[in-house]
Structure 1
Amino acid sequence: MRPIRIHLDTSDYSAMHDAPMGSPVAKIREKLTELAQSGRIEIGLSYHVVFELLQRADPEHRGNRLSRARLLSELCGRNAFPYPTDLGDGHRFSKEGLWQPRITLDDHEVEVIVGHFIQGVQQDPEATAHAQRIVTRRKYLRRWAEEYPERFADLADRNWPVMFGRSLAKDGTFGRYVAGTISRDEANRKLWFFINDPESIYELWFEQCNWDCPIMERRDNIAGKFVTMLGELRGTLARTKDLRARITAELNAAGDEALSADGRSQLLRLRRDLKTFREEISSPQQLCKDVPIWKKLFGDESALLAAEVLFAFERDKRPIKDSDGIDFVHVMYLPHADLWRGDRAFSDLLKRHKVSFGERVVPTLLELPARVEAEL
């Protein structure tokens, strides 16, 4: 039996990090850590959880952010859910800690690094003519890395082309890859660690690159698109309702305004067609067919769930908040987790409208240990 796979909400990590020793939430952290380390559960990192939890902070709060990062590593280890839109390409739960978008990983693949390194040496004013000749042919470079590993390490360190992973040049890992003594997969695992490890990504993203948190803009974009889609759906439903009301009024007309037999037959047929149309546009399955981009982005299971969530908002008649954009992203992992934690109000929405996989939703963090035990 495989381990129980769990998605936690960002608020869960925050609560466990800040919980006083001996409190119920602190005991949950201890229990989950024990179960994770024993291999009985797998808690997955995800892009949005990492950046929500590790937001930019003033220098005096650096220790807090790194402590949060260590909590993520403690609970999740090398387990991760893929970037949401990579689900559509068939990527699933990773045991190698890969939560960054695949396009980011591809842009920092070891062969890409080799190419940039070669360009760097060719443009390096301090590189010897011999070194610049060696990098023009891969077989020469490979032989040199094999025969003179220390000299290659010095050259790689001086011309390391990215802002992370320089230690791979210094410790000889990069040279061993170029020399052919470690595989491309192994080299990528070591390289990608630096952009998937929570503590490393905090230092790289916020401190070295001084970038803003990417979540806010993405959250607002998703929420905006969701509002647009919901508005279009509500507009279509309202128009069909108005048309149906006009048809009914025509059918109920009497006296001089009464319809002919042929006219009445046509309107009855139109009303039946309108009913069928309304049923179709109120169907998550039909919406998935009409909006194939969802399947392309999120895969079959998550695309259907996305449509169900849209209709849940329509039936609930509540306005969409910016935070719903992040919750919508989190719920894309529901089909790929055995137990799923999310925002309380959003979880209630899922349960109330009986979306697919809704039985996997755990309403509160305090309920999680019992649910885990029931699954084991």
Structure 2
Amino acid sequence: MTPSPLIVYLDTQDYIRIFNEPDDGPAHTILRQLIAFRDQGNIVIGYSWVTILEFITRPTDRHREERVRRGQLVKDICGQNAFPFFTALKQGARFPNKGLWLTAPDGRVVTAKWFRQQMEKHYLQLVTEERNLNRSQRRRLKTPSTLKKILRNTSSTWGTKREDFGDIPVSDEFLESGVMARFLRGECSDAEFEERLNRWLSDPAEFSRLVYDYADKPNLLDEFIGPSITKMECALKQVQEAINTLDSLDNSIREHRRKLTEAGLDKAAARRLTKPMPRPTLDPTDLILNIEDHVGKGRADHVGHYMLKALRKDYSFKPSDLMDIAQLCYVPDCDLFRCDKAMADLFRDHKPFAGKLVAKFADLPGRIEERLAECGR
């Protein structure tokens, strides 16, 4: 039996380095090695919503062409190998997840049922306005059979323009394909309609184009991601505030010690009178359980580990830690996981991550060879 390929996760900085570097640069040399492993069936490389969020940004129109090409780079490297949005993990979604990196709670951002409801409202309004119908007639029009007949026979261009879809992103391919007209006539299945409308979710290149086409619309990533990471963000901020408070107290104590010695008190006595504040102990169990409610059992232990480490006096919290911690929810699914050196050092003694974290992009080919040798490949 042929062993399964190793699952490899790249850090966002790896994609940025590859993108910004000439083809003969060192990052591209490593990439060619990874592609060779991939093409031989030894590894698959996956991306996640964090990769998309951090790598495919929305700057000024002057950089549009460049950022569109960023989406194509992710597609070229990973294909349809995506780690599910982490709230979908609890619902059973697993890598490679048919390339879907962002999903609504039911697995789809737009459903045929929802869309049909919007169309029915639209056409019902048109009919009632045009025919000046009374309440009884409007009630009869609301029956499924009558509405279906109206939708099939009414000529309208609604659904052929982006503005018809509100904040829901749709591609040029969808608008030009004629699938809307077939859907209105009942000639297109719900499954086909949903697949075509949601296709942008499985194509980083298409998504990177839509980012600009919808620059004036609310950000769907913010809508879906925001509620799911609020608990984690608040918890990390609380840790930062606690550390800052303790550091401030320690600075104040050291200042009092200095004043006491300047006033003539023996240094040893001054130290006894001005002992540093003890660092509090933390039981992260409740926090872990709360986060597991969103991401699934066994995927939040590292958050508790981080909290305990972050309480150290010498640790400096960074806003980027939030995204690093979020990505680490995927380590259980990976054989090798790229992260920066700071995170690799922080989790060096976290047993569930043992042997998986790779602190340097340049080390990745060697680590792959080691794992393949362990598997007898």
Q: Does TM-score exceed 0.5, indicating one fold?
A: yes
Going from structure 1 to structure 2, the CA distance change for 1:141 and 1:24 (only over 3 Å counts) comes to: farther
Alignment of 1:312-331 (within 5 A): 312-315=309-312, 317-331=314-328
Aligned residues between the structures:
323
Asked whether the 8 Å contact 1:96–1:189 carries over to 2, the reply is no
Alignment of 1:248-327 (within 5 A): 287-288=284-285, 292-315=289-312, 317-327=314-324
Q: Does 1:191 align with 2:173?
A: no
**Superimposed CA distance per residue, residues 250-276 of structure 1 (whole angstroms, 9 cap, x where no aligned partner):** xxxxxxxxxxxxxxxxxxxxxxxxxxx
Alignment of 1:32-71 (within 5 A): 32-36=34-38, 39-71=41-73
- Point out where structure 1 has 5 or more consecutive residues left out of the alignment: 237-277
Q: CA deviation at 1:41?
A: 2.6
Q: Does 1:227 align with 2:237?
A: yes
Q: 1:96 aligns with which of 95, 98, 115?
A: 98
**Superimposed CA distance per residue, residues 198-228 of structure 1 (whole angstroms, 9 cap, x where no aligned partner):** 233233334424358767x968984453131
Instruction: Determine helix, strand or coil for the equivalent of 2:7.
Output: strand
Q: Which residue of 1 aligns with 2:337?
A: 340
Asked whether the 8 Å contact 1:341–1:362 carries over to 2, the reply is yes
**Superimposed CA distance per residue, residues 242-298 of structure 1 (whole angstroms, 9 cap, x where no aligned partner):** xxxxxxxxxxxxxxxxxxxxxxxxxxxxxxxxxxxx9xx656xxx335752122112
TM-score, normalization by structure 1 = 0.71
Alignment of 1:105-144 (within 5 A): 106-124=108-126, 138-139=144-145
Aligned AA (2:205): E
Asked whether the 8 Å contact 1:12–1:365 carries over to 2, the reply is yes
RMSD, aligned α-carbons: 3.9
Instruction: Determine helix, strand or coil for the equivalent of 1:330.
Output: helix
> Which has the higher mean CA deviation after the structures are superposed, 164-173 or 40-49?
164-173
Asked whether the 8 Å contact 1:89–1:296 carries over to 2, the reply is no
Q: Does 1:361 align with 2:357?
A: yes
Take 2:81 and 2:141, find their aligned partners in 1: how far apart are those partners? 37
Aligned AA (1:366): A
Q: CA deviation at 1:193?
A: 1.4
Q: CA deviation at 1:318?
A: 0.2
Asked whether the 8 Å contact 1:5–1:41 carries over to 2, the reply is yes
Asked whether the 8 Å contact 2:75–2:203 carries over to 1, the reply is yes
TM-score, normalization by structure 2 = 0.71
Take 2:11 and 2:199, find their aligned partners in 1: how far apart are those partners? 23
Q: CA deviation at 1:14?
A: 0.4
> Which has the higher mean CA deviation after the structures are superposed, 116-125 or 173-182?
173-182
Q: Which residue of 2 aligns with 1:18?
A: 20
Indicate the percent of aligned positions where both proteins have the same amino acid. Answer: 22
Asked whether the 8 Å contact 2:6–2:43 carries over to 1, the reply is yes
> Which has the higher mean CA deviation after the structures are superposed, 298-307 or 152-161?
152-161
Aligned AA (1:197): D
- Point out where structure 2 has 5 or more consecutive residues left out of the alignment: 132-137, 247-279, 373-377
Q: CA deviation at 1:89?
A: 3.3
Q: CA deviation at 1:356?
A: 1.7
Q: Which residue of 1 aligns with 2:267?
A: none
Q: CA deviation at 1:115?
A: 1.7
Instruction: Determine helix, strand or coil for the equivalent of 1:100.
Output: coil
Q: CA deviation at 1:321?
A: 1.1
Q: Does 1:204 align with 2:200?
A: no
Going from structure 1 to structure 2, the CA distance change for 1:160 and 1:375 (only over 3 Å counts) comes to: farther
Going from structure 1 to structure 2, the CA distance change for 1:288 and 1:198 (only over 3 Å counts) comes to: same
Q: 2:170 aligns with which of 139, 151, 164?
A: 164
